[in-house]
C-alpha cells in the first residue's frame, strides 16, 4: 500500500496531457488549481496507516491474500459495505471536501458484477480480465476514475442517432489486438490526479447502439487521451491562501473533461463490447453503489460545516440565541439522517450473482435523494447563521496592506475576546463549502434527482402494498 507521499510521488511519473485556462499544465503538483485535490486524495492513502482507522481503511484481497487499501477492494460482505460508509465519513471529517477516490472504487465493483453476468450469457471471459485489472490496481495501489458520464449531445436521441457520434464514447474500430475508441467523459472527478480511468456506458441502450456499449480501462496518460480541467466557483481564490477557506484540500473534486481521440485499448483491458442489453444494468449498478456514498462522505463534510457554523455563531456573539440553537439542531438532524440511510443501505446489502455485495437499492436512492435537498438546506442555514460577510469580505491582499489591513480587522471584529482574523477564516471556509460547485455536485453526482425518484418507484412493491390494504379492509383482489 502507498502512503500519501508515495501517491504524490507516483504522479510525477505520469505524462497526462492536461489543459486549464487555455494553457497546458506541465506539472500538476505545482498547479495551485490542482494541488489541493492531490492533497485530498493523499488522505485516502495515509488514513490506511493511522491506528484509529486502519480497520476501516484496509481489507484483505480475495485474490492475493494481501492487505490492501479499501479503495481497491471488491466488496465481500455486508460488513464491507458498512465499513465503506464509516470510512467515507471519517475522511470527509478530515478534509471537508470531496476526496475523489470512491468513484473508481464503485466502478470496479459494478463492472466486476456485470462482466460476470455477460460471461454467463455469452461465454465470454470478461470477468477474468476485470479481476486481472483489479489485482493490478491493488498491487500498485492506484487511483481509478469511474468514467460514467458522457456529454450526451441531444438528450432526446439515442447514441446511434446523434449527429456527432463522439458525444458518446464508442468503438471506432475493432482490431485483432484491441479496439480504437473515440468520445469523451465529462465531469470526471479526480481525473487530473488519477492513474487509470475505468469507462462504462452512461445510458441503457438498444441493439443499434452496439458500438456505444463499451467498457474498458486505460491509463490517463495513454496516447490520445486529453484532459481539460474544469472551472470551479471562485477558483481565483486558489491564487491566494486565506481566501480559499480550505487551502489544503480545496473544494469538491477537481472535475475534468476526458477526451479519447482514437485511443487504442488492448482486448485484455476491454470488459464489455457490444452487449447492449447489459448497458442499463451497468449504469444502475454503478449509480446505486455511488448513491450510498453520498450519505457518508457528505455527512463527514457537513460535520465540518456544522462545526464551522457553530464556531461562527460564537464569533458573532449569537451562539446562545434560541433560534441559532434551533438551526443547529436542524442541521444535525438532517445530517445524521443522511448517514443513517447510507448505513442502512450497507447493513441491508446483499450479494449479486457474481458474489460481491450490493447496497440495498431503495435505501441508496433515498440517501442520494435526500442529499439533493438537505445539503442545500444545511448550506442555507449555515449562511443564515454566519451572516452577510460571507459574500462581501475584502480579499486577503487588502488584509495584508499596511493601511487597509488594520481597518478590516477593526470593522470586522466580532464578539469580545475573539480573534477577527479567525472569524474571517471561518467565513471563508463556510463560503468555500457552500458555494455553487459543491452544491451542483451534490445535486447531479451519481445521477440527477429524477433518476433516484425513478429508482424508488421501480423498486417499490406497490402491488404487494395494495394487496395488504385490500386484505385489511376486506376487499378480494
Instruction: Report pLDDT digits (tens) over 9-62.
Output: 999 999 999 999 999 999 999 999 999 999 999 999 999 999 999 999 999 999
- Domain housing 195: 4-275
Q: Which domain CATH number covers 428?
A: 1.20.140.10
Distance of CA 472 to the CA centre of its chain: 45
Answer yes or no: do 267 and 289 share one domain.
Answer: no
Judge whether 475 lies within some domain: no
pLDDT of res. 254: 85
Question: Which of 231, 251, 275 is at the close of a domain?
Answer: 275
Catalytically annotated residue among 7, 112, 116, 294: 294
Active site residue 273: no
Closest CA to 298 of 330, 335, 337, 333: 335
Judge whether 393 lies within some domain: yes
Active site residue 255: yes
Residues 6+ apart with CB under 8 A from 235: 33
Answer yes or no: do 340 and 460 share one domain.
Answer: yes
CB-based contact 132:222 (threshold 8 Å): no
Catalytically annotated residue among 189, 276, 361, 434: 189
Per-residue pLDDT in tens (0 to 9) along the chain, 477 residues: 999 999 999 999 999 999 999 999 999 999 999 999 999 999 999 999 999 999 999 999 999 999 999 999 999 999 999 999 999 999 999 999 999 999 999 999 999 999 999 999 999 999 999 999 999 999 999 999 999 999 999 999 999 999 999 999 999 999 999 999 999 999 999 999 999 999 999 999 999 999 999 999 999 999 999 999 998 877 777 777 888 888 888 887 789 999 999 999 999 999 999 999 999 999 999 999 999 999 999 999 999 999 999 999 999 999 999 999 999 999 999 999 999 999 999 999 999 999 999 999 999 999 999 999 999 999 999 999 999 999 899 999 999 999 999 999 999 999 999 999 999 999 999 999 998 777 888 888 878 888 888 888 888 888 989 899 999 999 987
pLDDT of res. 62: 96
Active site residue 441: yes
Answer yes or no: do 185 and 321 share one domain.
Answer: no
Distance CA 1, CA 458 (A): 40
Answer yes or no: do 146 and 260 share one domain.
Answer: yes
DSSP 190: T
Active site residue 189: yes
Does this model's pTM top 0.75? My answer is yes
Answer yes or no: do 77 and 140 share one domain.
Answer: yes
Catalytically annotated residue among 117, 196, 255, 431: 255
Catalytically annotated residue among 73, 195, 290, 339: 290
Residues 6+ apart with CB under 8 A from 388: none
Answer yes or no: do 75 and 205 share one domain.
Answer: yes
Question: Which of 224, 249, 275 is at the close of a domain?
Answer: 275
- Dihedral of CA atoms 84, 85, 87, 90 in degrees, nearest 10, equals 170
Q: Determine if residue 251 is left, alpha or beta; phi over 0 gives left, psi from -120 to 50 gives alpha, anything else beta.
A: beta
Answer yes or no: do 247 and 290 share one domain.
Answer: no
Answer yes or no: do 269 and 291 share one domain.
Answer: no
Active site residue 294: yes
Count of domains in the chain?
2
Question: Which of 275, 298, 326 is at the close of a domain?
Answer: 275
Place of cell 445510458: 203
Amino acid at each position: 500500500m502507498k502512503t500519501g507521499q508515495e501517491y504524490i510521488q507516483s504522479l510525477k511519473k505520469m505524462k497526462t496531457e492536461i489543459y486549464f485556462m487555455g494553457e497546458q499544465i506541465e506539472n500538476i503538483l505545482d498547479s495551485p488549481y490542482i494541488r489541493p485535490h492531490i492533497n485530498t486524495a493523499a488522505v485516502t492513502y495515509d488514513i490506511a496507516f493511522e491506528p484509529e482507522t486502519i480497520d476501516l481503511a484496509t481489507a484483505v484481497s480475495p485474490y492475493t491474500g494481501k492487505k490492501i487499501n479499501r479503495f481497491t477492494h471488491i466488496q465481500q460482505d455486508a460488513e464491507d459495505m458498512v465499513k465503506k460508509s464509516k470510512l467515507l465519513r471519517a475522511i470527509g471529517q478530515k478534509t471537508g471536501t470531496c476526496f475523489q477516490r470512491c468513484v473508481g472504487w464503485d466502478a470496479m465493483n459494478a463492472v466486476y458484477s456485470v462482466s460476470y453476468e455477460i460471461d454467463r450469457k455469452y461465454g465470454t471471459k470478461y470477468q477474468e480480465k476485470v479481476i486481472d485489472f483489479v489485482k493490478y490496481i491493488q498491487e500498485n495501489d492506484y487511483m481509478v476514475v469511474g468514467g460514467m458520464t458522457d456529454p450526451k449531445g441531444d438528450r432526446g436521441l439515442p447514441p446511434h442517432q446523434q449527429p456527432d457520434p463522439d458525444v458518446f464514447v464508442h468503438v471506432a474500430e475493432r482490431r485483432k489486438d484491441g479496439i480504437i475508441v473515440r468520445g469523451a467523459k465529462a465531469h470526471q472527478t479526480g481525473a487530473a490526479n488519477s492513474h487509470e480511468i475505468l469507462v462504462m456506458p452512461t445510458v441503457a441502450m438498444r441493439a443499434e447502439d452496439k458500438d456505444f456499449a463499451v467498457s474498458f480501462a486505460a491509463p490517463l496518460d495513454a496516447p490520445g487521451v486529453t484532459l481539460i480541467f474544469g472551472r470551479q466557483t471562485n477558483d481565483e481564490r486558489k491564487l491566494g491562501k486565506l481566501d480559499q477557506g480550505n487551502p489544503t484540500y480545496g473544494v469538491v473534486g477537481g472535475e475534468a473533461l476526458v477526451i479519447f481521440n482514437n485511443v487504442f485499448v488492448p482486448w485484455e483491458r476491454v470488459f464489455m463490447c457490444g452487449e447492449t442489453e447489459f448497458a442499463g444494468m451497468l449504469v444502475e449498478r454503478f449509480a446505486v453503489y455511488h448513491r450510498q456514498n453520498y450519505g457518508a462522505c457528505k455527512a463527514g463534510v457537513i460535520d465540518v460545516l456544522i462545526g464551522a457554523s457553530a464556531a461562527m455563531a460564537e464569533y458573532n456573539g449569537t451562539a446562545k440565541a434560541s433560534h441559532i440553537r434551533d438551526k443547529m439542531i436542524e442541521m444535525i438532524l438532517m445530517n445524521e439522517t443522511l448517514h443513517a440511510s447510507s448505513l442502512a443501505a450497507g447493513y441491508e446489502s446483499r450479494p449479486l450473482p457474481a458474489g460481491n455485495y450490493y447496497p440495498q437499492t431503495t435505501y441508496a436512492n433515498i440517501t442520494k435523494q435526500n442529499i439533493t435537498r438537505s445539503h442545500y438546506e444545511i448550506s442555507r442555514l449555515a449562511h443564515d447563521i454566519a451572516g452577510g460577510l460571507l459574500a462581501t469580505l475584502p480579499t486577503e491582499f487588502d488584509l495584508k496592506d499596511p493601511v487597509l489591513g488594520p481597518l478590516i480587522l477593526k470593522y470586522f471584529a466580532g464578539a469580545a475576546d475573539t480573534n477577527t482574523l479567525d472569524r474571517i477564516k471561518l467565513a471563508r471556509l463556510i463560503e468555500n463549502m457552500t458555494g455553487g460547485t459543491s452544491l451542483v455536485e451534490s445535486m447531479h453526482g451519481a445521477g440527477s434527482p429524477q433518476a433516484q425518484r425513478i429508482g424508488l418507484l421501480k423498486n417499490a412493491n406497490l402491488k404487494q402494498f395494495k394487496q395488504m390494504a385490500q386484505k385489511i379492509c376486506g376487499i378480494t383482489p
